[in-house]
Amino acid sequence: MRVGVVPLDDRDGTVAEEEVVRACLLQTPPRLPPWLGYDPVGSELFEQITELPTYYLTRVERGLLERYSSDLAEQLGCGRLAELGSGSAKKTALLLESCVRLRATTYLPIDVDRSMLESSGAMLSAQMDGLEVTGLWGRYEAGLEWLRTYPGDPLAVAFLGSSFGNTTREERDGLLDEIARSLRPGERFLLSADLDKSREALEACYNDPPGYSAFADFRLNYLTQLNRRYGAGFVLDDFVPEAHYNAATSTVEGILRARDDRTVPIPGLGLTLHVPRGHFVNVGYSVKFNGERLVRDVGAHGFSLRSQWRDHETQYGFFLFSRDEL
């Protein structure tokens, strides 16, 4: 089947990349948006993370899809499926296989890594008859704007991999509004989310086990991206990558902690970043949700829950919403 990639203009209706990164770095503590780490190197490192023996999220999500993909595909009830942050789409393939058994399907993956869009699209099209793939190369907001600009058959939007938790509350609210604007009444929004659990389980999941370095390398790659894109002067060995659980906010925070006082110019963003010894740059939020509160929060943006599928042992779930009547 046909495979294509559409480059999106992130400046058309969305905030410019440089403005987003600069605003994040001016926060206290400074942080970096999650999409900045997903160049080809970062995408490959994240694939390595998903294979770590302590990283349960991918295995649990895959298990849920293996059990329930037929039910999910039937309830999605559409011929077009867009996915935010599609990555390798290896798990999504399980859902798409069930979709194409029911109807011809157009898959619209949205990702900032063009090479990943091309490779995953080629893989999926080779595996499945009845599937058309059009990759949307850019950030979530630009992909959702493209969906609004080019309407077509009934649409569902999927946000898998528990990536919904990689944002602040303000960012989640804004994204839910964008998704709601992209869907017509009755169309579906499929969300996967990791639910809150013990500090021990979460910190084991988000730190490298002995003998591995995928998480550390992935977090340091954010600094490499700042050096490459904006001419920053970060020395990677000056920072210690780690993750800790903040119980007050139910959030795992991936950080880069400064070994000593560091003052780093970032000329491409027009700022100089000062990080005192022991302080850190945040390179990843992973919010853990209460399921009932999550349903209420999503519902406040014009959605109604239709179904949910949970792994009760690890407290992870899929939540399928329908866009309300306007």
List, as one string, the DSSP characters of 217-236: HHHHHHHHHHHHHH-----G
Determine the average pLDDT of the residues in 117-133. Answer: 93
pLDDT for 107:
97
Give Dmax (Cα) for the chain: 59
At residue 78 the predicted structure's pLDDT band, cuts being 50, 70 and 90, is confident
Task: Provide mean pLDDT across the span 124-152.
Answer: 93
Least confident of 62-66, 163-167, 173-177, 241-245: 163-167
Judged against a pLDDT cut of 90, whether residue 3 lies above it is answered with no
pLDDT confidence of 11, banded at 50, 70, 90?
Answer: very low
How many CB atoms neighbour CB 9 within 10 A? 11
Lowest pLDDT segment from 6-10, 24-28, 90-94, 180-184: 6-10
Confidence label for 13 from pLDDT (cuts 50, 70 and 90):
very low
CB atoms within 10 A of CB 181: 14
Helix (H, G, I), strand (E, B) or coil at 51: coil
Prediction pTM value: 0.92
Decide if 323 contacts 186 (C-beta within 8 A). Answer: yes
Res 236 pLDDT > 90:
yes
Separation in Å, CA 58 to CA 39, 44, 90, 316: 20, 15, 10, 10
CB atoms within 10 A of CB 118: 16
Per-residue pLDDT at 55 exceeds 60:
yes
Lowest mean pLDDT among 51-55, 68-72, 164-168: 164-168
Pair of tokens at residue 29: 């503590």
Read off the pLDDT of residues 139-194 as tens digits, 9 standing for 90 and up.
999 999 999 999 889 999 999 999 999 988 999 999 999 999 999 999 999 999 99
Q: Is the pLDDT of residue 15 over 90?
A: no
Q: Which of 4-13, 38-47, 232-241, 291-300 has the lowest mean pLDDT?
A: 4-13
Domains observed in the chain? 3-9+55-197+289-323 (3.40.50.150), 25-34+199-287 (no CATH)
Mean pLDDT, rounded, for 217-231: 97
Residue 2, pLDDT above cutoff 70: no
Contacts of 8 (CB under 8 A, 6+ apart): 136, 137, 138, 139, 142, 143, 145, 146
CA distances from 274 to 27, 223, 228, 278, 281 (A): 12, 14, 19, 12, 10
pLDDT exceeds cutoff 80 at 326: no
Q: What is the pLDDT of residues 195-210, one digit of tens each?
A: 999 999 999 999 999 9
Q: In the chain, pLDDT over 70 holds for what percent of residues? A: 97
How far is the C-alpha of 45 from the C-alpha of 321, rounded, in Å?
Answer: 32
pLDDT of 12: 44
What's the count of helices (H) and strands (E) in the chain, helices before strands? 10, 13
Do the Cβ atoms of 285 and 271 come closer than 8 Å?
no
pLDDT at position 10 over 60: no
Listing DSSP states for 257-304 in one string gives EESS-EEEEEGGGTEEEEE-TT-EEEEEEEE-B-HHHHHHHHHTTTEE
